Amino acid sequence: MSSKVKLVLTHGRVFVWNAEDVRILREDYRIVGTLVGCLPRAPRQNVHLGLPVQLMPEETQLLLSKGVVELVDGGSLPEPDEKKAETFRNMRTENYEGQIESFRQDRKREIYRHMSKIKEGKKAKKQKVLEERRKAGEKIAQEEETEEEFNVEQISIPAIAEDNSMVQIFTESPWQDVLQPVTDEWKYPQSEHERLRSQVFSHLWGRGYYMTGGGKFGGDFLVYPGDPSRFHSFYIAICKLHQVKLTALDIISMGRLGSNVKKTVLLCSIDSEDKVVCTSLQWTGIS
């Protein structure tokens, strides 16, 4: 990788706006994140989402510790000056002009596809006009009754209206390279529980797993043996401080939680030697 991936910090949350950066993080570093942006062609729904990708704090901290990313301040982007505005307008104009010829070629192909229907329609229309003229007593010359040759190349196809042209919608600012690096704003982890989550995430990631947030399954992380687009999660990781006492009801609840969604619960903590300890819980029921 020639340069570091840019992670944009905005109001305490970290986003990846560039599609190529998202691919690199997923394929090279097993960092998945969550798509949180609306799709330009379907903005009024929240089932299928697009860029940007939002990263969990644990994902961000792991990448920063590996030195493969740069955290930049999303609020440091300056207001566009007249030069940038002119560049943007020129780009829109070039984009529109490039679509004109493409539009005309598409229209010609459409005409060719419907050539037989167009010829029949023109012939029927001409015959109707001639019939009306005959009824009016007008004499029709023989050459007027001859069928005209229909040449698509001679048709004048107007340019597409600029209001109907396709517009490039940026998924990231084209001037994002001017964003300033974050120096002292990133302060994760701070609490003991955040430190626990961060270490557990790093521990499981280091063993080759993919991970996403586990809130919808009642845990801290969902743990996958491969890319989540191809595999179901095997484990629900639940982070508990080592000194916290658990009752038998707590253990049973976590065991049944995993059983209901056909996953193994990983009870994760940090022991007195600052090592991550994972205990698997599986509900077998009573025979």
Q: What single string gives the DSSP state of each residue in 154-170?
A: G--PPPPPGGGS--PPP
Please say if 29 is a catalytic residue.
no
For domain 1-77+173-186, the CATH class is alpha beta
Distance from the first to the final alpha carbon of the chain: 56
Q: Where are the beta strands (DSSP E) in the chain?
A: 5-10, 13-16, 34-37, 50-55, 69-73, 210-213, 221-224, 235-239, 264-270, 276-281
Q: What is the pLDDT of residue 286?
A: 55
Joined tokens for residue 46: 């929240």
Closest CA to 155 of 91, 189, 109, 200: 109
235 closest CA partner among 223, 252, 220: 223
Contacts of 263 (CB under 8 A, 6+ apart): 217, 233, 234, 235, 236
Catalytic position from the list 232, 242, 245, 262: 232
CA 228 to chain centre: 15
Per this entry, what is the length of the chain?
Answer: 287
Taking residue 109's Cβ as centre, other Cβ atoms within 10 Å add up to 10
Catalytic residue of the set 224, 235, 242, 245: 224
User: Is 263 among the catalytic positions?
Assistant: yes
Q: Residue 260, Cα to own-chain centre: how many angstroms?
A: 31
Report the CATH number of the 189-287 domain.
Answer: 3.40.1350.10
Tokens of 278: 């994972």
232 flagged as catalytic: yes
Joined tokens for residue 58:
């644990």
- Domain coordinates of the chain in residue numbers? 1-77+173-186, 90-164, 189-287
Neighbours of 32 (CB within 10 A): 22
Determine which one of 6, 209, 210, 263 is catalytic: 263
Residue 7 near residue 60, CB atoms below 8 Å: yes
- Chunked in runs of 10, what are the mean pLDDT values of the chain (287 residues)? 82 93 96 91 86 96 95 82 88 90 87 84 85 82 70 78 81 74 86 96 97 94 96 96 91 88 94 93 67
Task: Record the tokens describing residue 35, joined without a space.
Answer: 């798509």
Cα-based distances in Å from 215 to 50, 204, 223, 236, 264: 21, 17, 12, 10, 15
Pairing of strands 210-213, 221-224: antiparallel
Check for a shared fold between 1-77+173-186 and 189-287.
no
Amino acid in the structure at residue 45: Q
